[in-house]
Amino acid sequence: MNFKIALIKGDGIGPEIVDGALKVLEAVQKKHDFVLEYTEVLAGGIAIDRKGSPLPQETIDVCKASDAVILGALGGPQWDNLPGDQRPEAGLLELRKSLGLFANLRPAILFDELKDASPLKPEIIGEGLDVLVVRELTGDVYFGEKVKEDNAAWDKMIYTRPEVERIARVAFEIARNRKKILTSVDKANVLEVSRFWRSVVLEVAQEYPDVTLNHLYVDNAAMQLVINPAQFDVILTGNLFGDILSDEASMITGSIGMLPSASLGEGTLGMYEPIHGSAPDIAGQDKANPLATILSMAMMLRYSLNMEKAALEIENAVRKALQQGYRTVDIMSPGMKVVGCEEMANRVVENL
Ligand code: NAD
């Protein structure tokens, strides 16, 4: 089996972490007998320098013609003074939009070996954490009408039925393959848009009688995540609440260098990237943690290439490297073996 993969290494630590992830994918391909055909394209700061735009048309075309997109990270201080719409990060937003990616998946998994890194007390973490936030990416107050007057300003919070239906289906499908518990988060006690959201989610729920659906107000959800996170399996929410809750959920796992993400659209095309940025402070020093990117590759295998077994093998190989005591500096604790970006990727490959 052959798959077309668009490769965007990006800026800062982007090339280092993506190279580490590619080694892991090479090992998985050998084991499972499939071929990834990469086309490397530019986006972000490097694209500004070489092509004059943070998102050249060629990049969009190659990504659209691919089965999945792998992205390292974009941005850096040398491009900070450019106008907002010409900055590296603008390329990323535009790329998500061009590819119709409306569902952002952020798993917050706390590996046992990294329990010390969580800001939560051990008695709250209990058996561990495995929460998946499904955030809608293309609607809500971010894309509604924006008005600024001299003495007032407002942003329209709007969701349409098709937007809610399609993100709800993504969340129900995923919940169906996990613990079958879905929590939809809104502010239906106050907002009309939330009451509409809730009613549409309830309609979609009819198609998934095997999944238990709960509703929580966002203020309560924020609280529950830090007092009893184990109650959650999949959280479904809109763009604004999802922005905040996915950061909160991620951070209870301790380290930004560990957290993968997937952005999905209608078909199987998805974009896979770590949630962290380009870390210019450590770029080119072989200090970056490649595990968030490596775990994003597991998500790619799971959601775009339909290879659950290979995805689990990557996740287990990462867990084993942590069990063996290997740590990059961002997750270092006393008594562990500090390794660089390249070495950490090699350890994961060895475990595969
Ligand atoms: P950052 O995530 O790049 O770095 C924050 C801190 O975390 C830094 O100290 C960094 O060294 C550390 N860190 C991040 N990833 C790490 C890793 N894999 N291993 C070890 N340490 C890691 O955030 P920032 O400093 O606010 O932003 C730097 C640049 O990245 C900016 O230009 C920003 O706009 C951009 N950015 C890009 C994305 C993206 O491409 N998706 C996301 C966020 C920020």
Query: In this predicted structure, what is the pLDDT of residue 321?
Result: 97
Please tell me the distance between residue 159's alpha carbon and the centre of ligand 1 in angstroms.
31
What angle, rounded to 10 degrees, do the helices at 88-98 and 57-64 form?
40
Determine the pLDDT at residue 308.
94
Give the separation between CA 227 and CA 136, rounded to whole angstroms: 25
Q: Is the CB of 76 under 6 A from ligand 1?
A: yes
Class of domain 1-101+266-352: alpha beta
pLDDT of 55 over the 90 cut = yes
Which run of H or of E encompasses 2? Answer: strand 2-10
Residue 93, CB-side half-sphere exposure with 13 Å CA sphere: 10
Name the superfamily (CATH) of residues 119-252: Isopropylmalate Dehydrogenase (3.40.718.10)
- Testing ligand 1's pocket by substitution, the residue of 263, 276, 332, 338 carrying the most ligand atoms inside 8 A of its CB is 276
User: What confidence tens digit (pLDDT) does each residue in 247-289 have?
Assistant: 898 888 877 899 999 999 989 999 999 999 999 999 999 999 9
| CATH 3.40.718.10 in the chain, residue ranges | 1-101+266-352, 119-252
Query: What are the φ/ψ torsions at residue 103 (nearest 5 degrees)?
Result: -120, 120
- What is the widest separation between alpha-carbon atoms in the chain? 63
Catalytic center residues: 142, 187, 219, 243, 247
Q: Is the CB of 285 under 6 A from ligand 1?
A: no
Instruction: Tell me which amino acid residue 212 is.
Output: T
The 3-state DSSP class for residue 331 equals helix
Helix-helix angle 341-351:291-303, to 10 degrees: 40
pTM to 2 decimal places: 0.91
Q: What percent of the chain has pLDDT over 90?
A: 83
Q: pLDDT tens, 5-50?
A: 999 999 999 999 999 999 999 999 999 999 999 999 999 999 999 9
pLDDT band per the 50, 70, 90 thresholds, residue 85: confident
6 Cβ closer than 6 Å to some ligand 1 atom = no
Structure tokens at 244: 């905040």
What confidence tier does 132 reach under pLDDT thresholds 50, 70, 90? very high
Q: What's the gap between Cα 180 and its chain centre? A: 21
DSSP for 57-71, written as a single string: HHHHHHHHTSSEEEE
pLDDT for residue 243 is more than 80: yes
Q: Is 24 helix (H, G, I), strand (E, B) or coil?
A: helix
